[in-house]
């Protein structure tokens, strides 16, 4: 089975993954209402991505005889001062998520749980990508937001990045 401390920290991470899905749903609503179709599409896609992350942790826990806990939903913000504010929020969220994954990995290694450590390696690689897009979008919006034409072009580009 899985050691209690590993189960506990994986449940903390589940809370982060569900929260990220909700926060991104809130961002989707904001971008959609503000007519930023590309960003709306991107964040809608990311709701599914975060839910798939949660599912991966849940399946691993169940396979190991642990008890996953589904967290209560915290209502996300659905309005932001600007696209930049929303994207900075997304970047902060991804950084917190990465810190959470690293904390899980530390506990799994200390508990001598190689199966969980291996499962978490996928998340380590995934978070490098997640932080990269979030940082890129913040930097791009900082560059182009002065020009509405450039901002619309970047929004269009983001929409096309969703597979």
Say how far apart CA 79 and CA 31 lie, in whole Å: 9
For residue 126, the Cα-to-chain-centroid distance in whole angstroms is 10
Under the phi-then-psi rule, with left for phi > 0, alpha for psi from -120 to 50, and beta for the rest, what region is 112?
Answer: left
Give 79-124 as a DSSP string.
Answer: --SSHHHHHHHHHHHHHHHHHHHHHHHHHHHHTT-HHHHHHHHHHH
Tens digit of pLDDT at every position of the chain (163 positions): 899 999 999 999 999 999 999 999 999 999 999 999 999 999 999 999 999 999 999 999 999 999 999 999 899 999 999 999 999 999 999 999 999 999 999 999 999 999 999 999 999 999 999 999 999 999 999 999 878 788 889 999 999 999 7
Tell me what pLDDT residue 151 has.
86
CB neighbourhood size of 81 (10 A): 7
Say how far apart CA 139 and CA 153 lie, in whole Å: 15
Tell me what pLDDT residue 130 has.
96
Say how far apart CA 142 and CA 153 lie, in whole Å: 14
Tell me what pLDDT residue 66 has.
98
Model confidence, pTM? 0.93
């Amino acid at each position: 089975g899985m050691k209690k401390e590993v189960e506990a920290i994986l449940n903390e991470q589940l809370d982060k993954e569900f929260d990220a899905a909700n926060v991104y749903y809130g961002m989707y609503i904001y971008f959609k209402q503000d007519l930023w179709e590309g960003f709306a599409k991107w964040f809608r896609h990311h709701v599914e991505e975060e839910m798939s992350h949660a599912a991966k942790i849940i399946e691993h826990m169940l396979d190991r005889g642990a008890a996953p806990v589904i967290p209560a939903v915290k209502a996300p913000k659905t309005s932001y001062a600007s696209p930049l504010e929303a994207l900075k929020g997304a970047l902060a969220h991804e950084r917190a998520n990465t810190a959470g994954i690293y904390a899980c990995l530390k506990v799994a290694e200390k508990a001598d749980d190689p199966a969980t450590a291996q499962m978490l390696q996928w998340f380590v690689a995934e978070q490098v990508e997640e932080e990269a897009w979030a940082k890129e979008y913040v930097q791009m919006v900082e560059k182009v937001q002065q020009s509405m034409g450039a901002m619309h072009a970047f929004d269009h580009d983001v929409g096309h990045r969703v597979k």
